[in-house]
Structure 1
Amino acid sequence: MLSRALTLTYDTELYPFQKVLSHYVFKVRRLDQLHVAWRRQNNREKLHYQDNMTLRRLMQRLPDDSPFYKVYHAWIAAVLAPCYGGKISYSAHPKMRVHLAGTGCVSDFHRDADVTGRLDQINCYLPFTDVFETATVWCEAGYGSNRYQPLNLKYGEALLWDGGLLKHGTFPNQTDHTRVSCDFRFKAKAPDRVASPWRDVLADRQPAEKMEL
């Protein structure tokens, strides 16, 4: 795992993301087997990139008062924000992700800061299934290294890391598990209240004058 990245753990009974998405959004028994239900529903064996996008939109279009967002904002307030002085600015609508088993790449390799222009944000990778091997995001082991490793997590874990300047993306999902996850960026509103190791997630960056956006 990345040297400055931090893994948060939480109680999935208190914050039942998987149960909410399985029941209210996808209506499946097992979220990591979403590809099986989707194949059956569409009466075809081969799935494609667009299938991922179609299922992702079901999540992205959830209303603000949906069960998912109630759990999401409660999780932010009780699990993440206390690590950063109790107050953070964060994405009210995270980027939803679906990567069905047997489908190709769903994200080219990139650095978020090249898109956002922001160097002050920390990334949070919050999976709703176990994520591993090619059923997860792969990230540079070090800045500019072009050596990649999988961000392996269990459901009930979230990763805080520097997606702004570490290149990351996906490979074709060659596992028999579907990844369902979200990711978002945040920053502390009172950084002087943040203690180590939470304040150190971005600490291995090069001096600002060497950063190229």
Structure 2
Amino acid sequence: MGRGADAAGGDPVAAAVAAEKAAAEAATSPPSPPSSSSRDWHFLPYPVGHRKRASFVRHYETLLAARADAAARHAYVPSVRAALDGDGFASLRRLNVLTFDPAAHPVLRAFRALIGVADDADLSRAHLSFRDFSRRSSHLDDKASLLAPLARDSPARDAFVDAYDALVLAVVAPAVAAAMGPELEDAILYAAFPCVRVQQPCEFHTIRAHVDSMYNHPEGSVNCWLPLTSAFGANTLQLESAPGAEDFRPLELDHGAVAMFHGHSVAHFTVANTTDETRVSLDFRVVPRSVHDPSAECTARKGPGDASARQCYNVSGYYSAARRGDDGIWRKVVSGRPSARHGFPHRNDEMA
């Protein structure tokens, strides 16, 4: 019996998949990371001599190596590789902005109800409720307290998830299917619960420069970024237009828009929020079914943060699943339940 069959425990289907993966891995040679010695670092958010500059450069060099190594880390089966290299997914590698009617999709209203603030509360002023607010502090405990209801089962949390699901099914799923080819793509995976980011006015970045391959997210995942407040200038995500372009620009959107981009390979980070407004946003990932490789759901690769241990992005766990019916309507068919490793609420201890 061959090695693939041994690994699959005698299952002929699993053995075939294992053999296909082995062939793909054999054809892949790890690329060398690009040199950054001659880089001019024109895009750095800190001037020469700033205490944060060296760590930002170090993290960016880690990003370069991770992006160069991504192909070697995940050798997908040929059918998935072909879909990833196709014209449909190529369109999802570029920045796309979708719009929706907040009245029809009351995600913001459900979020306010979940965290226990008034229906007309201005979330851009959330930092004013932080204890002894200072731009020099990360206020991690204040953010954790604000977002604690996200971690608890409750009717308000269920209502928020329902609003989130409805928006994904009505706005995001059709757009992804249209890009991939609606006659071919009738199912997607999507994060069962979105990450919530709170970027208060501050003197430092809170999300370091990274690509999502550093955290073992699959190449077929597409980032969706939805602001709950106005996102502009220094309070928003900084994003390059294509892998390696380094033409970073602020992702400026108002509530009622969803940006889709390929965070697996496109670098992104935050800068010091020099505005007077807190930015609150949701982000989540979607995966077209044709580029989902179940054998790549779990990895044991070493990486930064949570990626240093075995990481699973699996259906019914990290991902929910949706399918388009014969009537053209998208419906959730599998409900995910992320583990504690995926964080409720999101908190970034890097700047603590």
Q: TM-score range by the shorter chain?
A: 0.7 to 0.9
1:4 to 76, 87, 94: 94
Could you tell me which residue of structure 2 aligns to residue 149 of structure 1?
A: 249
C-alpha RMSD over aligned residues: 2.4
Aligned pairs for 1:70-85 (under 5 A) are 70-83=162-175, 84=177, 85=185
Larger Rg: 2
Amino acid at match of 1:171: V
1:94 to 194, 203, 214: 194
> Which string of whole-angstrom CA distances, capped at 9 and with x for unpartnered residues, describes residues 118-155 of structure 1?
11111111111111111111012331133311111111
2:271 to 155, 162, 171: 171
2:219 to 103, 107, 119: 119
Q: Measure, in 2, the Cα distance between the counterparts of 1:57 and 1:5.
A: 29
> Which string of whole-angstrom CA distances, capped at 9 and with x for unpartnered residues, describes residues 5-41 of structure 1?
11110010111222222233051511111112x13xx
Contact 1:60–1:96 under 8 Å retained in 2? no
Q: Which has the higher contact order (CA 8 A, sep 6+)?
A: 1
Amino acid at match of 2:260: L
Could you tell me which residue of structure 2 aligns to residue 19 of structure 1?
A: 109
Amino acid at match of 1:76: V
**Matched pairs, number:** 186
Contact 2:127–2:133 under 8 Å retained in 1? no
Could you tell me which residue of structure 2 aligns to residue 194 of structure 1?
A: none
> Which string of whole-angstrom CA distances, capped at 9 and with x for unpartnered residues, describes residues 162-196 of structure 1?
111011110111111111111111112257xxxxx
Q: Measure, in 1, the Cα distance between the counterparts of 2:173 and 2:146.
A: 26
Q: Which has the higher helix share?
A: 2
Contact 1:104–1:172 under 8 Å retained in 2? yes
Aligned pairs for 1:30-41 (under 5 A) are 30-36=122-128, 38-39=129-130
Contact 2:115–2:146 under 8 Å retained in 1? no
Contact 1:129–1:181 under 8 Å retained in 2? yes
Contact 1:56–1:98 under 8 Å retained in 2? no
Over 3 Å counting, the alpha-carbon distance change for 1:188 and 1:115 in structure 2 is same
User: 5+ residue gaps in structure 2?
Assistant: 1-92, 178-184, 292-352
Could you tell me how far 1:74 is from its partner in structure 2?
Answer: 0.8
User: 5+ residue gaps in structure 1?
Assistant: 192-213
Could you tell me how far 1:95 is from its partner in structure 2?
Answer: 1.6
Normalising by structure 2, we get a TM-score of 0.48
Q: Measure, in 1, the Cα distance between the counterparts of 2:142 and 2:241.
A: 27
Could you tell me which residue of structure 1 aligns to residue 6 of structure 2?
A: none
Q: Measure, in 1, the Cα distance between the counterparts of 2:272 and 2:203.
A: 6
> Which string of whole-angstrom CA distances, capped at 9 and with x for unpartnered residues, describes residues 85-124 of structure 1?
4531011022211111235322100000121151111111
Could you tell me which residue of structure 2 aligns to residue 128 of structure 1?
A: 228
Could you tell me how far 1:45 is from its partner in structure 2?
Answer: 3.4
Amino acid at match of 2:110: V
Q: Measure, in 1, the Cα distance between the counterparts of 2:154 and 2:240.
A: 34
Over 3 Å counting, the alpha-carbon distance change for 1:72 and 1:159 in structure 2 is same
Aligned identity (percent) is 26
